[in-house]
Structure 1
């Protein structure tokens, strides 16, 4: 079932929102507020979550609070990858959560946390255990990113690409399973920590891994899953058929569904990171997806 609706993904990261088009996040605030209102109109109790921020920046949360966005949300979320991209150490996780709690009374979820196996698979396995030690009991939801490595034939969702140097290639080694589906040492470490640790797994349009992912999540005892429905994908042929298949396959899990990605032809610029030409169109997409996939009697998630 859908237990929460997340509005966008990493809105303070230029890989997901273009700061040149919206330097003060005024347009994002307008879009997010409209989306939150549409979700509430479609479902009276479903928790609404601010897309996990990366980097963890209390000033960004303060900006959105001043613009009234947080008045329409029940949860804020953060993303952290201290062993791969962030400029802080993994042991600072509790302090990072406290920095956000200092600027909002809303519960703080960790909607993406992970460690790549780019340098060594043993480091990733250690990272699972250390992350669980630091976060379990401190955040109501913790979504490990991710179940699968990103196939090398695909592109990572980033605007930096090879300009990041080796950091770019770490995107492809975040899974507990290798691209061929074989398990890494971290899988066993994760299994010991589930269901306290949930998963974040993005499924691409008509993703061939969907059924195998469901089988693995059952085997691992996963309860909480974060995934996404792409506004941009909704314009593809047979989009609703794919959305229906994806959401039906995931129905047994408690799903936080993330709405994001601007269609190229509906943005101020032709890119998925662009603010939309008409923010109400994104709101309409969010409301339609909630009406289609969230049961009216769905109980509110345990927010924390």
Structure 2
């Protein structure tokens, strides 16, 4: 069941949105407003989530508020990785949440992506799972741990500069609770007691062979909340809708937040997934089509009646 739709991913992170083309996020703001309105037009019961910010930046939120974006969304989302990429202490999580709450007091705040990798040692991740749960469960309504599986190194990470980022790039491959070869880490056992209160964030690649294993692991752990993505860029691949159908059918038992992001090369101002689109209405149309297909208002009404 899709309960929320997230509009983009980390729009204030230069690895996910091109700051050279849109230095003041005005293009993103216009696109986000159109997408939020399109989603609401199909099913107003689906929560509209502003793509999780990284870094956590009150001034970014206020800027988008000035563009009218906050009037169109229900949830402001935060992403944080204090033991891997961010320059702040893990114990600052409550203060980081409060910084954003102070500028958006009328919106829900979710931590839609938080993680600690095992790049240095599995014990670091084990600690990170426990401390993150202690700090955030109950502080915000929804928390999503990133991620269930390590990213296989041969796949490459979706960032702009890749190996030029040094160890920051390679940390992308160690964020899972389960290794790429299927072996559980210490962090998986640490996560299990919190699974009911802390969901998982797991990207699935086009025709991802890990999909069925992910569903089995999540059900075994007792996970009920999931955040994943449907890539606008992938929608132009052969049999994209067939893959999207298979993915969403497999995830039907979870309360899912689906993220819409990544620009098709031929529709961007620049030929890159981080580029603002030439026509932001095309992104909004994609969002509406996906909600109509996977979370139509009729399905929501039927579910409420059954409850």
**TM bucket, shorter chain:** over 0.9
Contact 1:262 1:271 in 2 (8 A): yes
Q: CA deviation at 1:164?
A: 2.1
Q: CA deviation at 1:298?
A: 2.7
Could you say which residue in structure 2 is the equivalent of 1:157? 158
Could you say which residue in structure 2 is the equivalent of 1:72? 72
Could you say which residue in structure 2 is the equivalent of 1:89? 89
Q: CA deviation at 1:295?
A: 4.1
Structure 1, unaligned runs of 5 or more:
none
Could you say which residue in structure 1 is the equivalent of 2:169? 168
SS of 1:186's equivalent in the other structure is helix
Q: Separation in 2 of the partners of 1:42 and 1:60?
A: 28
Length, aligned pairs only: 300
SS of 1:86's equivalent in the other structure is coil
SS of 1:51's equivalent in the other structure is strand
Q: Separation in 2 of the partners of 1:161 and 1:236?
A: 23
Q: Separation in 2 of the partners of 1:56 and 1:298?
A: 33
Alignment of 1:1-304 (within 5 A): 1-105=1-105, 106-296=107-297, 297-298=299-300
Q: Separation in 2 of the partners of 1:44 and 1:35?
A: 12
Contact 2:21 2:276 in 1 (8 A): yes
Q: Separation in 1 of the partners of 2:114 and 2:66?
A: 27
Contact 2:204 2:211 in 1 (8 A): yes
TM-score (norm 1): 0.97
Q: Separation in 2 of the partners of 1:19 and 1:164?
A: 17
1:83-117 CA-partner distances (Å, limit 9, x unpaired): 00000000000000000001102111000000010
Q: CA deviation at 1:120?
A: 0.3
Contact 1:4 1:256 in 2 (8 A): yes
Q: Separation in 2 of the partners of 1:208 and 1:107?
A: 34
Q: CA deviation at 1:162?
A: 1.9
Q: Separation in 2 of the partners of 1:92 and 1:192?
A: 23
Contact 1:3 1:298 in 2 (8 A): no
Q: Separation in 2 of the partners of 1:216 and 1:173?
A: 18
TM-score (norm 2): 0.96
Q: Separation in 1 of the partners of 2:44 and 2:124?
A: 44
Structure 2, unaligned runs of 5 or more:
none
- Runs of 4 or more above 6 Å deviation: none
Q: CA deviation at 1:206?
A: 0.3
1:210-258 CA-partner distances (Å, limit 9, x unpaired): 0000000000000100000000000011000000000000000000000
Moved more, 245-254 or 43-52: 43-52
Q: Separation in 1 of the partners of 2:239 and 2:162?
A: 30
SS of 2:53's equivalent in the other structure is coil
Contact 2:42 2:296 in 1 (8 A): no
Higher relative contact order (CA 8 A, sep 6+): 1
Q: CA deviation at 1:163?
A: 2.2
SS of 1:128's equivalent in the other structure is helix
